[in-house]
Amino acid sequence: MYRYDEFDREFVLARVAQFSDQVRRRLAGDLTEEQFKPLRLMNGLYLQLHAYMLRVAVPYGTMNAVQMRKLAHIARKYDRGYGHFTTRQNIQFNWPRLDETPEILSELAEVEMHAIQTSGNCIRNVTADHFAGAAADEIADPRVYAEILRQWSSLHPEFSFLPRKFKIAITGAPHDRAAVQVHDIGLQLARNENGETGFIVYVGGGLGRTPMVGRKVRDFLPEADLLAYTEAILRVYNLYGRRDNKYKARIKILVHETGLEELKADIEREFEAIRGGILTLPKDEVDRIEAYFAAPAFKVPGDERLFDAAIETMPGFADFARQNLNAHRQPGYTSLTISLKPIGGAPGDASAEQMEVVADLAEKYGHNEIRVSHEQNLVLPHVLKSDVPAVYQVLKEHGLAEANAGLVTDIIACPGMDYCALATARSIPVAQRISERFGTPERQKEIGDLKIKISGCINACGHHHVGHIGILGVEKKGKEFYQITLGGSADEKSSIGEIVGRGFSYEEVVDAVETVVDTYLNIRNGEEEDFLQAYRRVGEAPFKEALYGTQ
């Protein structure tokens, strides 16, 4: 994986020193809260309901065992013994003290981590497929380009005061696991007819109060033009993006209001003016970065009879093997999802002890690589199939072996009103109750692939618009109220879910979800037709009928 050079190290250390001084000046009264707030946000530090919250970047969701152990240490020493993995492949600590954050950032810098650009109106942590460098269907490793974009965008002077935040995602495979079409810029690696690497480019996707699927602006952007073209998009956005209204400031609104063709022409014009210049990616630089992400020294395949025997004999292992493994490009290997969605648990939360268990497993069985997925799970990308039973055994001992990746209980949920200052309703307890309702292995298996996503306010951090079943919590007459959307999706055929009807109270919402699920089970054309396919075939009518009766 990527390793800091001297420049990176000095850059992060300088940033820690700078922030330490800012905190000192704030506590001494030399900076007002108004002056300090944008500075702390640039270092990922928010003030939430109960305490400060520190968001630490995990660039493109990749880290190693030493880094994970450091996160566990921070959780224990400065927080309350746990952390929360997010939909941007980052981690949040919910209880740090302001006066201790400089120390936390120093500790993070020791292991090449930081909280830079995890907040504020800048280019945020670039996210990527969590199976990058491992997936059998991959064209090229998206992290190489995510890292190049990170280096280009970090404290980019021209793009530090954008109209609003800016999110980029990259997928390396035709099957999009990084939700690229609902990002400000979505990049999908592709090969042209000459076998050259490049990108399909989408612009203007996003969720929040105005959800939109990104529009394709390029069928093929050559690799060498990645930075020039991205810079062209950012320049057009920085110039024309609205600054008069925070809720209309994202690039999706600009695309919508300007019209795709005109905006495309603006981008191409800017691109023509800067292409071939200093931003052209030299091949040797791409190769240099690529070397950092070279595959580990894979071992010869182990004895897979161990794996096959475990399917027969080890309780729960067959379900785990069916659900939590992803095809690897290397014979004898698999990518293994560690679910952070135990039945009845808070989605994305991991205790310090669990983080250490994952770190140990990564070292012992996983070539020292760990990923955070945008679905709030962890992944060991490179595990020998013959080692999976041993890994499973350890996971099971630590409450990490839930065999539910991609199933109804693998729910994305934002922190909601239990933690977040912006939330208007709770999300986590709704996720917990749904998880308990559908929690038996038989019920989950019967339902099959189903993505439920929950947000506790209209900002949509829980991606509810792109849930097959989406749940949005709002406040209505002082009570929590939940709106259900159906048919959303964030893969290569992205779609925004449609509101099915009036919302439900906190007490009613789980029953409503069960009604939707049971309706699907009744109308599907056999087990092969998953929820989304069935919904796309029949539309909302039967679900509406089941939820509200004939109206």
Q: Are 310 and 394 contacting, i.e. CB atoms less than 8 angstroms apart?
A: no
Among 10, 21, 99, 514, binds other proteins (CB under 8 A): 99
Among 8, 17, 39, 80, binds other proteins (CB under 8 A): 80
504 scored as a contact of other proteins (CB under 8 A): no
Locate 107 and state its tokens: 């500790």
417 scored as a contact of other proteins (CB under 8 A): yes
Nearest distance in Å: CB 366, other proteins: 30
549 scored as a contact of other proteins (CB under 8 A): no
Q: Which CB, 106 or 515, lies closer to other proteins?
A: 106
286 scored as a contact of other proteins (CB under 8 A): no
Q: By CB under 8 A, how many residues form the interface with other proteins?
A: 30
Residue whose token pair is 């760990």? 370
Binding mask 358-397 for other proteins (x = CB under 8 A): ----------------------------------------
Q: Which CB, 47 or 306, lies closer to other proteins?
A: 47
Q: Are 229 and 221 contacting, i.e. CB atoms less than 8 angstroms apart?
A: yes
Amino acid at site 76: R
Q: How many CB atoms lie within 10 A of CB 150?
A: 21
Distance CA 352, CA 468 (A): 32
480 scored as a contact of other proteins (CB under 8 A): yes
526 scored as a contact of other proteins (CB under 8 A): no
Q: Of the candidates 391, 388, 387, 455, which has an alpha carbon nearest to the alpha carbon of residue 423?
A: 455
Nearest distance in Å: CB 56, other proteins: 17
Helices 6-28 and 101-110: angle between axes, nearest 10 degrees: 170
300 scored as a contact of other proteins (CB under 8 A): no
Locate 369 and state its tokens: 């690589």
Reported residue count of the chain is 551
Among 1, 22, 26, 335, binds other proteins (CB under 8 A): 26
Among 48, 106, 210, 280, binds other proteins (CB under 8 A): 48
Residue whose token pair is 């907040």? 119
Q: Are 227 and 279 contacting, i.e. CB atoms less than 8 angstroms apart?
A: yes
66 scored as a contact of other proteins (CB under 8 A): no
Dihedral sign computed on CA atoms, order 320, 324, 326, 330:
negative
28 scored as a contact of other proteins (CB under 8 A): yes
177 scored as a contact of other proteins (CB under 8 A): no
Q: Which CB, 51 or 295, lies closer to other proteins?
A: 51
Q: Which CB, 290 or 475, lies closer to other proteins?
A: 475
Among 8, 103, 107, 418, binds other proteins (CB under 8 A): 418
Sheet with 45-47: list strands edge to edge.
45-47, 52-56, 91-93, 82-85, 349-351
Distance CA 185, CA 256 (A): 14
Among 13, 17, 39, 49, binds other proteins (CB under 8 A): 49
432 scored as a contact of other proteins (CB under 8 A): yes
Among 24, 479, 536, 537, binds other proteins (CB under 8 A): 479
477 scored as a contact of other proteins (CB under 8 A): no
Among 17, 47, 306, 390, binds other proteins (CB under 8 A): 47
Side-chain-side CA neighbours of residue 108 (13 Å): 28
- Taking CB under 8 A as the binding criterion, the range among 41-49, 130-138, 175-183, 226-234 that sits at the site for other proteins is 41-49
476 scored as a contact of other proteins (CB under 8 A): no
542 scored as a contact of other proteins (CB under 8 A): no
157 scored as a contact of other proteins (CB under 8 A): no
Nearest distance in Å: CB 25, other proteins: 10
b/e map 305-315, b = 16+ CB within 10 Å: eebeebeeebe
Nearest distance in Å: CB 48, other proteins: 8
524 scored as a contact of other proteins (CB under 8 A): no
Amino acid at site 389: P
Distance CA 542, CA 11 (A): 57
The DSSP letter of residue 213 is P
Q: Of the candidates 379, 322, 382, 316, which has an alpha carbon nearest to the alpha carbon of residue 350?
A: 379
Side-chain-side CA neighbours of residue 217 (13 Å): 29
CA separation (Å) from 132 to 175, 371, 380, 394, 523?
A: 12, 9, 11, 25, 36
Binding site for other proteins (CB under 8 A): 26-29, 33, 47-52, 80, 95, 97-99, 346, 417-419, 423-424, 426, 428-429, 432, 475, 478-480
